[in-house]
Structure 1
Amino acid sequence: MSASHKYSKRKKWEKEDMSAAIIAVREKRMGYLKAAKHFNVPRSTLFRFVNDNDSSTESVMNKVIGRRPVLGTDIENMLVEYILTMENKFYGLTRMDLRRFAYQLAIKNNIQNAFKDGFAGRYWLKGFLKRHKEILSIRQPTATSQARANGFTKERVDEFYDNLDKIQADKPFPAARIFNVDESGLSIVQSKIPKIIARKGKKQIGAMTSAERGSLITIVVCMSPAGIFVPPMLIFPRKNMTEALMRGAPVGSIGRAHPSGWIQTNLFTQWFQHFVEYVKPTESESSDSNPAVFGNYTDSSDDIAMRNESAVPTDEDAECFFCNGKFSEDKRGEEWVKCLICEMWVHGDCGGYESGIYICDYCKN
């Protein structure tokens, strides 16, 4: 029999009934037996509560039954704050992390415990989550890269809404003519992220991951607050596009191909043409006829690659990632390129660079 099932019948009485019974006995209006029968509460529990003269009626009834927590209330409250802090930083604790951390806290603070093998027990974890069920819960996080975590800041969000306010003040667009466009990468490599302990009720839970691995299919989506949906653009990581890849896609979707699988300036221009054809703006200056588009477009385009192609390191001590040759010692005017992902500089010959965007072999793998 489990510990939770063994004591599942405890404290089944109503607080209002127990409070009334305690008051009746303390004011000598009833005896223990009569009060227990009249208010339908256990007589032994009533006797214990009535004789606890040092506490008020409310505090007596709210006492936690069973064993005291191993770590104590103060340490547990600090642990809850630490869990929420790590979750906000996208490094949430898993259940095993929490059990291991509880064991380390007990050892560090010389707290007597029955933990074994470097972990707190499963019953301790269950009790901890139950004691803090109003704050904590087990959640499934969303994989979040370092770049996205750094980019989504209060300043960026405030800037977006400031721009929105300025545009709305100039021309008050209706909800049906405001469109938000964003691109997202769909990984074709499955990866499983363990559940973590996070704040209860929070809508979005993130977990920091390394840069996306494997090939990505980029999808460009656009929608208005009124529910008007623009068919998406799908960008496949290949050189040549085939319509067979669009089987099963939403009606009206368009497909394009690029070796990186990412959105480029020319592809975004094609999407915007697709958007204009679908929304059909007019030559009128009325905000009811023309749309306002707000996006979160990150330029990883070919024109960036062309600028990098003729760029050189600004640091004289910059070293080639492959041969460790320094830029300051380069006497032959060798070509230098920078990886788009890790931003490490390499000799063009060492990295096998030809043209366009350069991504080193380590980031590709």
Structure 2
Amino acid sequence: MPGLQDGKYRKYSQEVVRIACGRVRKGELSYGAAARMYGIPKSTIRDKVSGRTPIESTPGPDPILSKKEEEQLVGWAIGMAKIGYGRTMMEMKRVVKKFLDANGRPNPFVDNLPGRRWMRNFLRRHPELSMRLPETLGRERADVTVNKIQRWFRECSDYMVERKTERVIAPKGAKNVYQQTASTRQQITVVGACNATGQYIPPLIIFPGVRFAYDPLDGAPADSSFAKSKTGWMNSEIFYEYITNHFHPFVRSLNIPFPIILFVDGHVSHINLETADFF
């Protein structure tokens, strides 16, 4: 029987599904005839013709995230890899967990954290991604040379036009993928920002601990803000709040035309899906 191998339906492409459903809709084939001719289960054709499931859906378990949500995640992963911040499998899964924690969507995961099987299927659904072993960026590579400066500007220009470690997720075929890590030391962090014309954003000061017996902004520049974290280091939640509630409104108040480019260092807190979506 065409389309059958050892009593099981063979794999079929989305294009074949579209053709089969189109012929059924036009009355050229019955459900059974289309199933036999194209090797697609009759129930699948029926569901897609009736609109019960979309044409672009794939066989197998529910991917949990919608197609649009997965495309958003893919775009973020590719964008991060392009600028030298490839994300690991666990970091990608934590992004999904954070989304599910906030969304409350039912899912089969333990504590909303996807497992290896979901990640494996996610990569299969998006062949433009691949797992790569990243190169570690050592301090010795920070030496400044004319060639490195020129290359940096070329790469920055290209990015604007385009608008030992775990393996990281990167665009398939990427030549070099990097990953940077953060420190766990305790300190006070001061976040500043300025532009080439000399305008500056009042600083954000991050203190360690959770309580103050004093005014933390006493003596700080006007319009400064503060935040608290366990170690005094920046984290992704504080960075998002800084961008959305401090940096962005202040830049707008200076009547600076958008879009703008914000250059940040390699701290992992600067790389999160929520902040990328805000811009």
Band of TM-score, shorter chain: 0.3 to 0.5
* Structure 2 length-normalised TM: 0.45
* Structure 1 length-normalised TM: 0.36
* Greater percentage in helix: 2
Higher relative contact order (CA 8 A, sep 6+): 2
